[in-house]
Amino acid sequence: MKLIRKLFSALIFLLAGISANAQSQAYFDALEAYNSGNKQAYEMFRQLVRTEPDNDAAYYYLAILSEDFLEREANFKQAIALDPGNYWYKYALASDYMTNKDAASALKLFEELIAENPRKTSLYYDVVNVYMANGDSDKAMEALDVIESQTGKSEPLAMARMQIYMQKGQQKQAFDFLQQYYKEYRSPRLACILGDYYGSLYQEQEALGYYEEALAMDPDCVEASYGAAHIYRAQGKYDMYFKNIGDFIKSGLVPPQTKVEYMQDVLGSGQFAQVFAPQVDSLMTEMYLSNPTDSTVTGLTAAYYYQTGQIDKALDVYSSLIEINPDDMGAAFNHCLIYYYAQDWDNVITYATTAIQRFDMPVDFLQLRGIAFWQLKEYDSSMEDYRTMLALAPKDSAVALNCYTAMGDLYHIAGDSKQAYKCYDKALRINPDHAPVLNNYAYYLTEGYTQPRKRPDATLRKAMQMSLKTIQQEPDNPTYVDTYAWLLHLVGRDVEAKAMFKHAMLYGGKENRTILEHYATVLSTLGENDLANVYFKQAQALPDE
């Protein structure tokens, strides 16, 4: 096996144009180390140039392995000095000069190589890049002329000349050149570039003509489909727009993220998406079918189906993705989330339970299941899920805040105010300004008060301080305003309470039975009995909360 490796290394050496005659065993050992990626190769070649100072190949490989530019340059030059006619030594050094932005030195070597190898077309492309880096566009054009005389017209040559014109700031000359060039050498890409150019000048028919020529040459040219589609849309030819943009959307050549961004723009266009809902629906389906496993595609498609009331299709998207990739935690979560938004609590529990058993750190699934149990009034199961979340992520403050908030509410539902308040206190130690806790804590503290007091006690003062923080954060939240207004009533400040309730009415308070009852109570206390009766009746007409 060792002999085979040495023969293979020697073959590589010969293909590089470097004679393997009379090479020492030390050389072949160093070359084998180089080919196998052994870090000792650098030291082996360093030792070799000391013991074999006339070994040009050793200097060449030492240069390749060196991390220092000056050291590489010195070793390449020594290799060239020992074998001046070696193409690869000069080419490697010229390329290194370009990498280090020494265009003048690179140009000198490339010109030497061209003089020695006048039929090697690739060298002219290299020298074009050097000329352009030096800003010498005339010589770059001359080099392109040489290539064209040897190879004939081609798309790369046209693009190179275009780049030179553009670098000189001569946009019109660039496209005038391309238009003339296109008459003799046509390609879909060049046609698309001309189509884009005329499109930017609002010369729609000229642009469309080039796009159609590109599609005639290559029916799968997505750039032409895209460009033509938008001209047809501007012209109001929507059947042609959807045909062409459909080809773009279902093409396997278009990256999934590009399709998603385009469809997001279409969906965000408001009236257009509504007027052409069936066609937009077809585009979404085509996008999904062309990229059924891409997470960004499936995410947008499922969200679209859900928002348009096609719940079963949204669920099918994620069911298929989970079947293809059962380890896709994001797909499993979004699958549960659709059931959550649909308030299908039984299925939330079913699929969240499967995910909890499958994935490590299933905190998000525990939260969804905890909420589902809560909605089904299975409070003990909900509490257990929040306790499990705490145990899984004891140092995650966001998880802890969420858990203590929920557990406080659950303890209150169970009638255990002492434990509820302990949980709220723990939540507020994490975030003293967490409005949901402040509001609920403050409101529950009022439950022991059946009549207003002339002087607030310590409990009411504490509740008012917490409630005030919530309305300072969200002054238009009717639930928070209700809590503070009710506290004002309990301390005998009914005129202020009335003003707060009127504000709550403007922001949804009329849809909440408790808020209406509180407002009616304040109005009755102020002697406005007729108006109070109106609000009592409105409250009774609403379902129990």
Whether 384 is in a domain gets the answer no
Listed in sequence order, the residues at least 6 apart from 78 whose beta carbon sits closer than 8 Å to its beta carbon are 49, 56, 59
Look up the domain containing 42 and give its range: 1-86
Whether 488 is in a domain gets the answer yes
Tokens of 67: 């991390």
> How much is the pTM?
0.60
How long is the chain?
A: 545
Number of alpha carbons in the 13 Å side-chain half-sphere of residue 467:
25
DSSP 372-410: HHHHTT-HHHHHHHHHHHHHH-TT-HHHHHHHHHHHHHH
> How many Cβ atoms are within 10 Å of 534's Cβ, its own excluded?
14
Number of alpha carbons in the 13 Å side-chain half-sphere of residue 258:
13
pLDDT at site 284 = 96
Residue 101 gets the label, from left (phi > 0), alpha (psi -120 to 50) or beta, of left
Q: How far apart are CA 107 and CA 127, in angstroms?
A: 6
Would you give the distance in Å from CA 239 to the centre of its chain? 32
Whether 220 is in a domain gets the answer no
Tokens of 222: 């997505």
> Where a domain ends, among 86, 104, 136?
86
Predicted confidence pLDDT, tens digits, the chain (545 residues): 333 333 334 333 444 444 444 688 888 989 898 988 888 999 999 999 999 999 999 999 999 999 898 999 999 999 999 999 898 998 899 888 878 878 778 878 877 887 888 777 677 677 777 777 767 777 777 767 776 776 677 777 788 788 888 878 888 888 988 888 888 889 999 999 999 999 999 999 999 999 999 999 999 999 999 999 999 999 999 999 999 999 999 999 999 999 999 999 999 987 899 899 999 999 999 999 999 988 889 889 998 998 899 999 999 998 888 888 889 898 899 899 999 988 999 999 999 999 999 999 999 999 999 999 999 999 999 999 999 999 999 899 999 999 999 999 999 999 999 999 999 999 999 999 999 999 999 999 999 898 898 788 999 999 999 999 999 999 999 999 999 999 999 999 999 999 999 999 999 999 999 999 999 999 999 999 999 999 999 999 998 76
Give the single-character DSSP code of 451.
Answer: S
pLDDT at site 220 = 94
pLDDT at site 15 = 40
CATH number at residue 512: 1.25.40.10
Domain total in the chain: 3
Whether 365 is in a domain gets the answer no
Whether 411 is in a domain gets the answer no
Whether 131 is in a domain gets the answer no
Whether 53 is in a domain gets the answer yes
Q: How far apart are CA 247 and CA 261, in angstroms?
A: 16
Would you give the distance in Å from CA 150 to the centre of its chain? 46
CATH number at residue 25: 1.25.40
> Where a domain ends, among 51, 86, 121?
86
> Where a domain ends, among 291, 306, 325?
325
Q: How far apart are CA 229 and CA 242, in angstroms?
A: 7
Whether 284 is in a domain gets the answer yes
Question: Closest Cα to residue 388, out of 411, 369, 375?
Answer: 369
Q: How far apart are CA 286 and CA 289, in angstroms?
A: 5
